Amino acid sequence: MIEKIGSGDASYIIRTEDAKKEQPARDILDVENAFRLMVSTVTDMAYTGMQDLKEIGAVGHRVVHGGSKFASSIVINDEVKEAIKGLVPLAPLHNPYNLEGIMLMQKLIPDAPQVAVFDTAFHADMPDNAYTYALPAIVCEKAQIRRYGFHGTNHKFVALSAATFLKRPLAELKIISCHLGSGASVCAVSRGKSVDTSMGMTPLEGLVMGTRVGDLDPGIVLYLLSHCGMSADEIDQMLNKKSGLLGISGKSNDMRTILAEAETGDMNCKRAISTFCYRAKKYIGSYVAALGGLDALVFTGGIGENSAEIRTRICQGLENLGIFIYEDTNRKVSARRGQIADISEPGSKIRILIIPADEEKMIARETIHALGRVRTRDDIKKLHLRPIPLSVSAHHVHLTQEHFEILFGAGRTMTQRSDLSQPEQFAAVETVNLVGPKGRIERVRILGPARKESQVEISRTEQFTLGIDAPVRDSGDLEGTPGVTLEGKAGTVKLARGVISAKRHIHMSPQEALTLGLRDKDVVMVKVKGARELIFGDVLVRVHPKYKLDMHLDTDEANAAQITQGTVGYIESIQHRNYT
């Protein structure tokens, strides 16, 4: 790893399985020189056992901004490079250098596949109420203005690592990841997905950072432009390079220096530390509320891993939320890559973990996964030629036998009205009324057979009718979902949970999945060739011996694509592979 390129104080770090070696490289003034040094090191038999770059099978590149176009890592071609270039205005300090690295590596190893791993990809599936800015919708759509989030590669890594350490499935955990370094961000992770994060459209928003301002009243920018004679470029430089810890302290952007100066009584440095920790604490508190609870609070990044004092200051005052730091362990622990430390009080329900960042490992993992999604021409032809029947799934209810009898009478069973597209499933004659805090929906069809837990599926539009904020979930994933009251002919049932907007999905049998080269829980993109052609992303593949090929959309999605009876879709590409 080569740091501080062009600063006159550059250094490079060589990590092997046994040791870490850091040396100065002050003459490294640009990316091309840095690459020469990297190549000479990588092809040094003493370090890698490799003599020629041609021995490298693939190259993974960290790319900071992928916009809304890239929801996962992707094999680089000319179109991808153009897209990265087009996103330079959103990440001017990062994307140009990321792109330069790609170009240089393609010259050095033209035959090796190159993969872009985007910082923003982990956040691509955030709910719209988390990524939306309260600006005119037409402006946001035209200018691609939304919260994109960053540090996604490491937030994803620590979430996976936390699940492994806790010996619990990632899909059942609520995690807050605090990536604290020169760049800093907090991420709320639920069921392995980013549901909110502190950085926004650019890496400028959120926490106080080394030289970046973080959250700021937009009116300040207008004031500086109109009353202080500053130009847009001057404000840009100030917000990105002269603010944050450096701006408040007036001394340094390095937390180690600021902590040392604060010990001597420097009031500006004390204020920088206090502001940094308060901002992080405020985000943690808000994300506990957004997640509806917490299983693990993770510290990562240079500051998060190495500063016991900063961890203590952030956790102080969070005891009412169940966050208790064990100070003795916190002070003694030494972060080492590959090792996870638990610094929470013994017996605490919420675990506080230190997980050293390992973005290189995640980039390698994502590179392998991206190559695994690459299809041969024959495979692509199969995907594009096999029509997927579409079904519109209107609101409906699944009931346990117990709840059915409460609603319709003891000893009663569901009366079959008509078969559904999936074998052994049917629409019942019986219907119920849904009653929410705001309104009601009459005559909602019950689908059979009876299930182990009652569940209600409604569209996004119907959420507003009922006054319920239902999450988008796979069927059966009901933890943390809101409830609703069901009215039947013989009684009522008040569900404590169970209302969802169903995630769009495709049913298929194992044989159909094999033919298409897909696995259970893969995620694909589907092009729907209806009256209004649309591509639906994040379509979950569900494979079971009792299923047959059929894609389910809710009424809102079907209306958006103007789907009519007989409309079909075609799998456009594989977004995510399921490796579990």
Task: Quote the CA–CA distance of 101 and 363 in Å, as a whole number.
Answer: 15
What confidence score (pLDDT) does residue 330 get? 97
Nearest to residue 474, comparing CAs of 514, 522, 403, 529?
Answer: 522
Q: Are residues 544 and 451 in the same domain?
A: no
3-state SS track over 7-72? CCCCEEEEECCCCEEEEECCCCCCHHHHHHHHHHHHCCHHHHCCCCHHHCCCEEEEECCCCCCCCC
Which residue segment(s) compose the domain that 299 sits in? 128-363
Rg of the chain in Å (alpha carbons):
26
In a domain, 242, yes or no: yes
Residue 368 lies in a domain: no
Instruction: Give the tokens for residue 263.
Output: 């010990």
Which residues contact residue 231 at a Cβ distance below 8 angstroms, ignoring those fewer than 6 apart? 225
Q: Identify whether residues 321 and 401 lie together within a single domain.
A: no
Give the pLDDT confidence of 472-498 residue by residue, as tens digits.
Answer: 898 999 988 999 999 999 999 999 999
Percentage of the chain beyond pLDDT 90 is: 73
The CATH number of whichever domain residue 309 belongs to comes to 3.30.420.40
CA torsion sign for 416, 418, 419, 425 is negative
Residue 54 CB coordination number (10 Å): 12
Average pLDDT on 341-351 reads 97
Last residue of a domain, one of 485, 501, 517: 501
Q: Report yes or no on 65 lying in a domain.
A: yes
Q: What are the tens digits of pLDDT across the range 391-425?
A: 888 899 999 999 999 999 999 999 999 998 888 99
- 17 within a domain of the structure (yes/no): yes
Which of 3-17, 190-204, 271-285 is least confident?
3-17
Among the candidates 88, 122, 156, a domain finishes at 122
Same domain, 493 and 567: no
Rounded to whole angstroms, how far apart are CA atoms 202 and 148? Answer: 7
State pLDDT tens for residues 51-70. Answer: 888 889 999 999 999 998 89
Is 203 or 579 the better-scoring residue by pLDDT? 203
> Helix (H, G, I), strand (E, B), or coil: what is residue 193?
strand
Regarding whether 161 and 25 lie in a shared domain, the answer is no
Which phi and psi angles does 454 have, rounded to 5°? -70, 145
Distance CA 67, CA 124 (A): 8
517: tokens are 């080269």
DSSP-assigned states of every residue in 266-297:
-HHHHHHHHHHHHHHHHHHHHHHHHHTS-SEE
pLDDT of 385 over the 80 cut: no
Average pLDDT over residues 262-273: 98
Of the pLDDT bands very low, low, confident and very high (cuts 50, 70, 90), residue 376 is low
The domain that holds 513 is classified in CATH as 2.40.40
State the pLDDT at residue 40.
Answer: 83
The C-alpha torsion from 443 through 447 and 453 to 457, rounded to 10°, is -60
Residues in the chain: 580
Of the residues 478, 501, 524, the one at which a domain ends: 501
Question: Quick one: DSSP state of residue 192?
Answer: T
Give the CA-trace dihedral at 166, 168, 169, 170, to 10 degrees.
-30
Whether 498 and 453 have beta carbons less than 8 Å apart is answered as yes
Structure tokens at 547: 């299923």
More confident residue, 456 or 50: 456
Give the chain's mean pLDDT: 92
Does residue 119 have an active-site annotation? yes
pLDDT of residue 580: 66
**Digit-coded pLDDT (tens) for 543-566:** 999 999 999 988 888 888 888 778
Distance of CA 171 to the CA centre of its chain: 13
The pLDDT value given to residue 531: 67
Query: Are 214 and 345 contained in the same domain?
Result: yes
- Among 4-18, 119-133, 181-195, 237-251, the range scoring the smallest mean pLDDT is 4-18
Domain assignment present for residue 332? The answer is yes
Flag whether 16 is in a domain.
Answer: yes
Q: Is residue 79 scored above 80 in pLDDT?
A: yes
Position 334, amino acid: S
**Identity of the residue numbered 432:** V
Range with lowest mean pLDDT among 17-31, 100-114, 123-137, 410-424 = 17-31
- In 165-231, beta strands by DSSP E: 174-180, 184-190, 193-197
The predicted structure's pLDDT at residue 22: 81
Active-site annotation holder among 119, 196, 358, 554: 119
Residue 299 has pLDDT above 90, yes or no: yes
Averaged pLDDT, 363-390? 82
Cα–Cα distance, 138 to 128 (Å, whole number):
15
Distance (Å, whole) CA 453 – CA 446: 13
Is the residue at 152 inside a domain? Answer: yes
Q: What is the mean pLDDT of residues 74-84?
A: 95
Q: How many helices (H) and strands (E) does the chain have?
A: 21, 27
Please state the domain count of the chain: 4
- Rounded-to-integer distance, Cα 516 and Cα 571, Å: 9
Q: Please say if the pLDDT value at position 307 is more than 90.
A: yes
What average pLDDT does this structure show over 205-221? 97
343 shares a domain with 210: yes
Query: Can you say how many angstroms the Cα of residue 458 is from the centroid of all Cα atoms in its chain?
Result: 25
Residue 294 sits in the same domain as residue 426:
no
Peptide bond preceding 449: is omega within 30 degrees of 0, i.e. cis?
yes
User: Are 440 and 510 contained in the same domain?
Assistant: no
Q: With 0.95 as the threshold, say if the pTM is over it.
A: no
What is the distance between the alpha carbons of residues 217 and 236, in angstroms, rounded to a whole number? 15
Q: Are strands 59-63 and 114-118 parallel, antiparallel or unpaired?
A: parallel
Is there a single domain that holds both residue 254 and residue 298?
A: yes
Per-residue pLDDT band for 313 (boundaries 50, 70, 90) equals very high
Least trusted range by pLDDT, from 320-324, 496-500, 511-515: 511-515
Strands 568-576 and 396-398: unpaired
Is the pLDDT reported for residue 382 higher than 80? no
Alpha-carbon gap, residue 413 to 408, rounded angstroms: 9
Q: Is 97 found in the same domain as 154? A: no
252 shares its domain with 145: yes
Residue 279 and residue 308 share a domain: yes
For residue 296, tell me if it sits in a domain: yes
Left (φ > 0), alpha (ψ -120 to 50) or beta: where does 538 sit?
left
